[in-house]
């Protein structure tokens, strides 16, 4: 398969249903470098019979669909490493297993597969043993946080084949020596590869035997809140308390008791837990697009004896909740889409709150004061009042206007 064939495949990929914009694309040079490097690996590359490929952190399907296209091309005899015997039915190699933390990424992969006419060959897995057991090759888009890399490296070393080769790639500007150190804790050999187009791969092999139980989710008692906070590696703020969230929580006593309250973009579920504890008569939903976040929020609810009151839901912008279902929504909005700072992610959640709030219901939100969310809150929810401001953040309460207004 020629270089430009892979690029032409990538150019047909979209980010839908994630936020789409001219400056946001569905693949990057790291995807291509990972696939090229995987094909060239002597004896362990994914075109070799017996190779079991697992992919972690595929953003919108470029790695999975690229790997399948390369396999198909090699079985048609147009590519493949010297000496490899093609495996037309994938019987020896098995399906490509893939895990994506964010539900929009999972959906984008299926959507892109449909657009390209790919009907099988891959299976989507939650993070863990099912994804990784017996894998001989793991392709990994390096995550932003070292904690997420720690959790991923630990799981690969724990569950994969002893001969596994891990190719962990990232944009050079987002990579740090701390990443090598994390990989070295779990693998006997870690070799940085040559950079290409501002991306680089760390190759790891010889997994060290795992000692003790899997370390995540981590549970930490937050004495300021009197709450046990549980966090998987990929979750926003880890076991810590974000300073915006801390400011929003100052207004907890002024928030109305709700029949149904939603912690939108719940992360570890701190807001849901603090609200639920103060309002024992309220039903609370904690929802996030990230699997690591909902696992963490579920663990936080259980650790604090609030799991009967809090329902945890992985979902994109409350798409599964009916219109008018909530009378209070609490939100510390994201300001990143992947690695890019982009207001679209926050605005999408504000718009969703307008749909899910019942008339007269309220959205309480905290944001960096320079973000000027008020016009959007006014337009998408209704009358918005500032309830607090400190040198950095503003907290507002917006009341959902009724349909006839
Ligand atoms: C700033 S963090 C706040 C996390 C948590 N509420 C806290 O206060 O620590 C924003 C959260 O929104 C989530 N998020 C972003 N876009 C989302 C979407 N479309 N649907 C659901 N959650 C989303 C992110 O995964 C992240 O956990």
pLDDT over 90 for what percent of the chain? 82
CB atoms within 10 A of CB 3: 9
Looking at 188, 207, 226, the residue that finishes a domain is 207
Residue 391 has pLDDT above 90, yes or no: yes
- Residue 79 is predicted with a pLDDT of 46
Asked whether 138 and 54 are in contact (CB, 8 A), the reply is yes
Task: Provide the pairing of β-strand 260-264 with 326-331.
Answer: parallel
**Quick one: 54 and 91 in the same domain?**
yes
**Quick one: 29 and 115 in the same domain?**
yes
**Quick one: 154 and 83 in the same domain?**
yes
Which residue has the least CA distance to atom 8 on ligand 1?
245
- Residue 343 is predicted with a pLDDT of 66
Q: How far, in Å, from the CA of 291 to the mean position of ligand 1? A: 11
**Quick one: 297 and 374 in the same domain?**
yes
Per-residue pLDDT tens digits for 20-69: 887 789 999 999 999 999 998 876 667 777 889 999 999 999 999 999 99
Q: How far, in Å, from the CA of 288 to the mean position of ligand 1? A: 6
* Residue 177 lies inside a defined structural domain of this protein: yes
**Quick one: 227 and 201 in the same domain?**
no
Pocket test for ligand 1, best of 101, 236, 248, 286 (most atoms within 8 A of CB): 236
Nearest CA-CA partner of 242 in 258, 256, 222? 222
Looking at 207, 240, 259, the residue that finishes a domain is 207
Number of domains in the chain: 2
| 323-327, 344-348, 391-395: least confidently modelled range | 344-348
Distance of CA 275 to the CA centre of its chain: 25
pTM for the whole structure:
0.93
* Residue 261 lies inside a defined structural domain of this protein: yes
- Residue 42 is predicted with a pLDDT of 76
- What is the residue-averaged pLDDT of the chain? 92
**Quick one: 191 and 271 in the same domain?**
no
Per-residue pLDDT tens digits for 83-141: 344 444 454 578 999 999 999 999 999 999 999 999 999 999 999 999 999 999 999 99
State which residues form the domain around 166.
3-207
Check which CATH number belongs to the domain holding 61 and give it: 3.40.50.150
* Conformation bin of residue 238: beta by default, left when phi > 0, alpha when psi is -120 to 50: left
Residue 322 has pLDDT above 50, yes or no: yes
CA distance 75 to 177: 39
Dig out the tokens for 192 from the structure: 């940085």
> Where does the pLDDT of residue 211 fall: very low under 50, low under 70, confident under 90, or very high at 90 and above?
confident
CA distance 66 to 46: 12
**Quick one: 355 and 238 in the same domain?**
yes
Per-residue pLDDT tens digits for 276-299: 999 999 999 999 999 999 999 999
Q: How far, in Å, from the CA of 81 to the mean position of ligand 1? A: 43
Q: How far, in Å, from the CA of 350 to the mean position of ligand 1? A: 12
Which residue has the least CA distance to atom 14 on ligand 1?
265
Which residue has the least CA distance to atom 9 on ligand 1?
267
Residue 369 has pLDDT above 80, yes or no: yes
CA distance 350 to 380: 7
Pocket test for ligand 1, best of 265, 272, 332, 339 (most atoms within 8 A of CB): 265
- Residue 80 is predicted with a pLDDT of 43
**Quick one: 376 and 232 in the same domain?**
yes
- Residue 340 is predicted with a pLDDT of 53
**Quick one: 226 and 364 in the same domain?**
yes
Residue 337 has pLDDT above 60, yes or no: no
């Amino acid at each position: 398969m020629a270089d430009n064939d892979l690029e032409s495949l990538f150019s047909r990929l979209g980010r839908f249903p994630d936020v789409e914009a001219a400056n946001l694309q569905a693949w990057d040079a790291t995807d291509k470098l990972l696939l090229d490097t995987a094909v060239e690996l002597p004896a362990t590359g994914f075109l070799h019979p017996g190779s079991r490929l697992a992919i972690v952190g595929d953003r919108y399907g470029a790695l999975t669909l690229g790997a399948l296209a390369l396999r198909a091309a090699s079985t048609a005899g147009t590519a493949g490493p010297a000496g490899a015997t093609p495996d037309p039915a994938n019987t020896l190699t098995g399906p490509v297993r893939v895990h994506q933390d964010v539900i929009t990424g999972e959906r984008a992969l299926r959507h892109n597969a449909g657009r390209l006419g790919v009907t099988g060959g891959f299976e989507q897995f939650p993070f863990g043993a099912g994804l990784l057991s017996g894998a001989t090759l793991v392709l990994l888009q390096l995550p932003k946080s070292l904690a997420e890399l720690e959790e991923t490296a630990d799981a690969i070393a724990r569950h994969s084949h002893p001969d596994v080769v891990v190719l962990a790639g990232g944009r050079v500007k987002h990579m740090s020596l701390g990443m090598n150190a994390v990989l070295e804790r779990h693998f006997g050999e870690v070799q940085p590869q040559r950079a290409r187009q501002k991306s680089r791969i760390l190759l790891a092999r010889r997994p060290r035997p795992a000692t003790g139980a899997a370390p995540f989710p981590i549970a930490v008692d937050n004495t300021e809140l009197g709450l046990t906070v549980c966090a998987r590696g990929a979750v926003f703020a880890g076991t810590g308390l974000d300073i915006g969230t801390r400011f929003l929580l100052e207004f907890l006593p002024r928030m109305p008791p709700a029949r149904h309250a939603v912690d939108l973009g719940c992360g570890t579920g701190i807001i849901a837990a603090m609200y639920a504890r103060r309002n024992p008569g309220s039903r609370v939903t904690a929802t996030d697009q990230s699997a690591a976040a909902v696992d963490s929020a579920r663990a936080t609810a259980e650790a604090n004896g609030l799991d009967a009151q809090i329902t945890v839901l992985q979902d994109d912008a409350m798409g599964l909740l009916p219109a008018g279902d909530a009378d209070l929504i609490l939100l510390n909005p994201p300001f990143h889409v992947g690695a890019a700072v982009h207001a679209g992610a926050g605005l999408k959640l504000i718009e969703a709150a307008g749909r899910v709030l019942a008339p007269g219901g309220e959205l309480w939100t905290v944001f960096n004061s320079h973000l000027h969310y008020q016009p959007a809150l006014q337009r998408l929810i209704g009358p918005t009042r500032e309830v607090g401001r400190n040198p950095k953040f503003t907290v507002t309460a917006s009341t959902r206007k009724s349909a006839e207004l």
